[in-house]
Structure 1
Amino acid sequence: MPELTLADLALEVRSKNAGPFWVTMELFLRDGRAYRIAADEKFLDERVIAALYRVAADTVRIFRIPSLNVVKISFPRPVSQGSLRDRDVHAGQHHVPLAGLVVPPGA
């Protein structure tokens, strides 16, 4: 059986700028069950995001919005938007590692 990922649970996974110094990612989950899995702090927390994106865990902000089945995640950009070393000006590709995160069996 293939592995289940966050992308499989979501209607949409996207990322975007939250100003020139922050990235925001949003998981729009299919239903309440998918939301409960994605919002579970034992599965998705600041340490997981820090490891995926190589940022300090204490800089990661996770907002769980059960009434909308949405999980929103923000963290500082590694370089400011539009700077010489910026490889994704709109932060439109940052969601890919999050979308591919494998859901633990039995979750």
Structure 2
Amino acid sequence: MTKVKDVCRHLRSKNAGPYWVTIDLFFDGPESFERHHANPALGPDLFRRLYGADPALVQHHPVRDLHMLKVSYPRASPQGGMVERDMHCGQQFVRLLDVELG
């Protein structure tokens, strides 16, 4: 089974303001990008399961020139809140590495 870590050369996650997180998936070439960027395994339900995001608010933005998929979703709590565990969201991408793409 192909996993995200097998087809992406780089993943990163970061703040997209105090209420949103953005994850960038840089695929290892145009073929991988075209084959996987619209895969249902990377759909809104995945972000509901992994991050507790409302699927109706998950946004997918493919960037063909960079062979990249940008996914944004609302944070479970505002940045810097009392329950904050990753202030800059720099480690959020890790949960995606072993997602199976089929």
Deviant stretches of 4+, over 6 Å: none
Q: Percent identity at matched positions?
A: 30
Gaps spanning 5+ residues in structure 2: where? none
2:41 is paired with a residue whose SS is coil
Which residue of 8, 11, 20 maps to 1:10?
Answer: 8
Report the count of equivalent residues.
102
Residue 62 of structure 2 aligns with which residue?
A: 64
Aligned to 2:100: 102
Per-residue deviation, residues 2-30 of structure 1 (Å, max 9, x unmatched): x4311121111110001111100000111
| Structure 2 counterpart of 1:20 | 18
The CA RMSD over aligned residues, in Å, is: 1.4
The CA distance in 2 between the partners of 1:49 and 1:96, in whole Å, is 13
Normalised by the length of structure 2, the TM-score is 0.90
- Partner SS for 1:16: strand
For 1:15 and 1:94, the matched residues in 2 are separated by 6
Unaligned runs of 5+ in 1: none
